[in-house]
Chain A
Amino acid sequence: MRRTILPAFVAALLVLPIRAEAQTAACAGLTDATEIVDCVDRIMRGESSQGIATMEVSTENWSRAMEMQMWSLGTDYALVRILSPRKDAGTATLKAGTEIWNYLPRVDRTIKIPASLMSASWMGSHFTNDDLVKESRLIEDYEITLAYEGDREGVAVWEFDLIPRPEAPVVWGRIAFQVRKSDTMPVFAAYYDEDGELVRTMTFFDYRQLGGRLVPAAMRVVPEDKPGEYTEVRYSELEFDVDLDEDFFSLRRLRDVR
Chain B
Amino acid sequence: MRSAWWKIGWRNLGRNRRRTLITSLGLALGYLAVVVMAGLSRGLVSEMIDNGTGMLTGQLQVFAEDYLPDRGIYETIGGREGVDVEALVARVAADPNVSAAAPRVYAGGLVSTGRATAAGVILGVDMKLEGDVSRLLSHIDEGRAPTPGQYEIAIGREMARQLDAAPGDEVVVVAPGADGSLGNDLFIVSGIFTTTITELDLGHAVAPIEVVQELVALAPGRVHEIAARVDDPWAADAAAAAVTAALEGDDAGLTVRSWTEFRPEMVEYANLVSSMEWMLIVFVFGMAIWGVANTMLMSSYERRREFAVLLALGGGPRFIVRSVLAEALVLGALALAAGLAVTLPILAWWSAAPPDMSWVYGGFTMAGGLMRPILRVEWPTSMIFITGGAMFVTALAAALYPAYRSARVPPADTLAGR
Which residues of chain B in 175-197 are interfacial with respect to chain A, using CB atoms and an 8 Å cutoff? 176, 178-182, 184-186
Q: Which of A60, A107, A112 contacts B115 (CB 8 A)?
A: A112
**A-side contacts of B380, CB under 8 Å:** none
Q: Which of A106, A107, A113 contacts B110 (CB 8 A)?
A: A113
Q: Given A104-B172, A112-B112, A113-B110: A62 and B184 within 8 A (CB)? A: no
Q: Are A111 and B172 closer than 8 Å at their CB atoms?
A: yes
Q: Which of B114, B119, B178, B184 contacts A114 (CB 8 A)?
A: B119
Chain B residue with Cβ nearest A64: B180
**A-side contacts of B114, CB under 8 Å:** 109-112
Q: Are A59 and B119 closer than 8 Å at their CB atoms?
A: no
B6 smallest CB distance to A (angstroms):
73
Q: How many residues of B sit at the interface, in one of the four size bands?
A: 20 to 34
**A102 on the B face (CB < 8 A):** yes
**A182 on the B face (CB < 8 A):** no
Q: Dominant SS at the A interface?
A: loop
Chain B residue with Cβ nearest A87: B181
Chain A residue with Cβ nearest B179: A62
A107 to B109, CA, bound (A): 16
**A117 on the B face (CB < 8 A):** yes
Q: Given A1-B108, A61-B72: A111 and B117 within 8 A (CB)? A: yes
**A-side contacts of B117, CB under 8 Å:** 111-114, 117
**B403 on the A face (CB < 8 A):** no
Chain B residue with Cβ nearest A107: B186
**A78 on the B face (CB < 8 A):** no
**A-side contacts of B115, CB under 8 Å:** 112
Residue-by-residue, is A145-189 near B (CB-CB < 8 Å gives 1, otherwise 0)?
000000000000000000000000000000000000000000000
Q: Are B74 and A106 closer than 8 Å at their CB atoms?
A: no
Interface size for A (C-beta < 8 A) is 28
Q: Given A111-B172, A112-B115, A114-B117: A88 and B181 within 8 A (CB)? A: yes
Q: Are A62 and B110 closer than 8 Å at their CB atoms?
A: no
**A-side contacts of B37, CB under 8 Å:** none
A240 smallest CB distance to B (angstroms):
30
Q: Given A1-B109, A61-B72: A109 and B182 within 8 A (CB)? A: no
Chain A residue with Cβ nearest B121: A1
Q: Are B181 and A106 closer than 8 Å at their CB atoms?
A: no
A229 to B127, CA, bound (A): 37
**A2 on the B face (CB < 8 A):** yes
Q: Are A88 and B182 closer than 8 Å at their CB atoms?
A: yes
A241 smallest CB distance to B (angstroms):
32
Q: Are B110 and A123 closer than 8 Å at their CB atoms?
A: no
Q: How many A-B residue pairs have CB under 8 A?
A: 70
Q: Are A117 and B119 closer than 8 Å at their CB atoms?
A: yes
**B-side contacts of A87, CB under 8 Å:** 181
Q: Are B185 and A107 closer than 8 Å at their CB atoms?
A: yes
**A-side contacts of B112, CB under 8 Å:** 109, 111-112
A162 smallest CB distance to B (angstroms):
30
Query: Which one of A1, A63, A113, A123 has the highest number of Cβ atoms from chain B below 10 Å of its Cβ?
Result: A1
Query: Which one of A57, A60, A63, A120 has the highest number of Cβ atoms from chain B below 10 Å of its Cβ?
Result: A120
Residue-by-residue, is A22-49 near B (CB-CB < 8 Å gives 1, otherwise 0)?
0000000000000000000000000000
Q: Given A111-B114, A116-B119: A61 and B184 within 8 A (CB)? A: no
**B-side contacts of A91, CB under 8 Å:** 182
A109 to B174, CA, bound (A): 11
Q: Are A124 and B186 closer than 8 Å at their CB atoms?
A: no
Q: Which of A61, A63, A102, A121 contacts B74 (CB 8 A)?
A: A61
Q: Are A62 and B186 closer than 8 Å at their CB atoms?
A: no
**B-side contacts of A120, CB under 8 Å:** 119
Which residues of chain A in 78-128 are interfacial with respect to chain B, using CB atoms and an 8 Å cutoff? 87-88, 91, 102, 104, 106-107, 109-114, 116-117, 120-121, 123-124
Chain B residue with Cβ nearest A91: B182
Chain A residue with Cβ nearest B187: A107
Q: Are A107 and B180 closer than 8 Å at their CB atoms?
A: no
Q: Are B185 and A106 closer than 8 Å at their CB atoms?
A: yes
Query: Which one of A63, A106, A107 has the highest number of Cβ atoms from chain B below 10 Å of its Cβ?
Result: A107
Q: Beyond A61-B72, A88-B182, A109-B112: 19 further Cβ-contacts under 8 Å?
A: A1-B108, A60-B74, A61-B178, A62-B74, A62-B178, A63-B180, A64-B181, A106-B185, A107-B185, A109-B114, A110-B114, A112-B115, A114-B116, A114-B117, A114-B118, A114-B119, A116-B119, A117-B117, A124-B176
What 7 A-B pairs have minimum CB-CB distances, sorted nearest first? A1-B108, A111-B112, A61-B74, A104-B184, A62-B180, A124-B180, A64-B180
Interface residue ranges, B against A (CB under 8 Å): 72, 74, 108-110, 112, 114-119, 172, 174, 176, 178-182, 184-186
Can you list 27 contacts pairing A with B, beta carbon distance less than 8 Å? A60-B74, A61-B178, A61-B180, A62-B178, A62-B179, A64-B181, A88-B182, A104-B172, A106-B184, A107-B185, A107-B186, A109-B172, A109-B186, A111-B112, A111-B172, A111-B174, A112-B116, A112-B117, A113-B110, A114-B118, A114-B119, A116-B119, A117-B110, A120-B119, A123-B176, A123-B180, A123-B182
